[in-house]
Amino acid sequence: MTHEPLPQITSQGRWIRFALVALPAGTIILGALSFVLYFHNKERDKERTYAHATALRREINAADLERHAAVIRDANSKPDEERRAIIASYAASTLSPENMGYDVFTDDWKEGDTARSNVTARLPGTKRPADVVLVVAAYGTDGTDASLASLLTVAQAMTGEPRIKTLHFAAIDASSGALDRLISAIRGKNSRVMQIIPLDKTSRLFAVEWSKQPGSGVVMPAHPTHDADAVSAATELKRLITEAADRL
């Protein structure tokens, strides 16, 4: 009985067999490597962001408080529509990644013919990022210069310094639905507002209504009444925010 000679594997066949074995393994290795590189780069970008924000941090001081207040006072002298636009734009620009290192979110809407905006700067928490402490100053009415100036100054003093809970610094329009709109937006990101720290009469009224819901809390800080008190009031505000955001 004769045997047929076994077919010889050509060089082309060897390459095909090698490809069938090596390519799937290579795809798995490349996929795993891409996964590792993605998270490595993500962590590196995060470190750069915090380093940048930390470099922008500045201690609470009277000059910053007065500078912010002067801009807001000047805007408050403008017609209603114009002053709202100026203050919202100023808050967003001041809190921005370039100036304070925050992620800034702006929510624009209209009530009738009036354009309105909420401006929020977010500092993610370390251990309880879904729990939010919300620091709020309303704008668009007379007499809001001290409260918003205090918010901006304290935000810069805390930038790049994450707490246990997530912090939101928000300049909200002085309209009845602004706070509810902001809280709904936070809930839409699978987060919950644990406490609100309102800095002016208007936002306090909004916060008191909100606090009637179960599980809600409001911390009422002292409101700066004149320049001599502004630095100490802002320093106390920073302490209250830190205490609320670090409470387990």
Are 210 and 179 in contact by the 8 Å Cβ rule? The answer is: yes
Least confident of 76-85, 137-146, 172-181: 137-146
Q: Is the dihedral of CA 166, 171, 176, 178 positive or negative?
A: negative
pLDDT band at 42 (very low <50, low <70, confident <90, very high): very low
pLDDT for position 12: 59
Q: Which helix (H) or strand (E) holds 73?
A: helix 62-76
3-state secondary structure of 173: strand
Which ranges in 132-226 belong to alpha helices (H)?
A: 145-158, 178-187, 201-210
pLDDT for position 10: 58
Which pTM was predicted? 0.78
**pLDDT higher than 90, residue 51:** no
Written as six digits, the tokens of 111 are: 């009530």
Question: How much is the mean pLDDT over the chain?
Answer: 83
Written as six digits, the tokens of 99 are: 């100036």
Are 66 and 227 in contact by the 8 Å Cβ rule? The answer is: yes
Determine the average pLDDT of the residues in 122-137: 96
Q: How many Å apart are CA 4 and CA 246, to the nearest integer? A: 81
Residue 52 exposed, middle or buried by CB count within 10 Å (0-12, 13-18, 19+): middle
Residue 141 exposed, middle or buried by CB count within 10 Å (0-12, 13-18, 19+): middle
Whole-angstrom CA distances from 242 to 160, 167, 179, 221 are 13, 9, 22, 13
3-state secondary structure of 104: strand
Q: Is the dihedral of CA 203, 75, 151, 114 positive or negative?
A: positive
Secondary structure (H, E, C), 217-228:
EECCCCCCCCHH
**pLDDT higher than 70, residue 7:** no
Determine the average pLDDT of the residues in 111-120: 92
pLDDT for position 36: 46
Cβ–Cβ contacts within 10 Å for residue 68, how many? 22
